[in-house]
Amino acid sequence: MEQLAGVNIEKNARGREVITYIDLSKYGEMLVPFFKKIIVKKEDKPYNPEFVAKIRRSEKQESVALDLDNLWK
């Protein structure tokens, strides 16, 4: 396969081409409009809102200092 400057193709363990890196400083003017047309943006919400609220509440709680010298007595 011919190598194109600014484009790198990586293969997986089976030799199948799976990842392409493109230098957008070289090809961005041509590719960015294309990417904007094909990419569907979705809002990522990786965490459950209830879980986030629970973490926020725990951040507001006061902590207790333990005397490590007397911890096992």
Report field, pTM of the whole predicted structure over 0.75: no
**pLDDT at residue 6 is higher than 70:** yes
The mean per-residue pLDDT over the stretch 49-66 comes to 87
The Cβ-side half-sphere exposure at 62, using a 13 Å CA radius, reads: 2
pLDDT at 2: 63
Backbone angles phi and psi of 38, in degrees to 5: -95, -20
pLDDT at 16: 92
Residues 6+ apart with CB under 8 A from 26: 5, 6
Q: How far apart are CA 35 and CA 26, in angstroms?
A: 15
**pLDDT at residue 59 is higher than 70:** yes
Chain centroid offset of residue 52 CA:
18
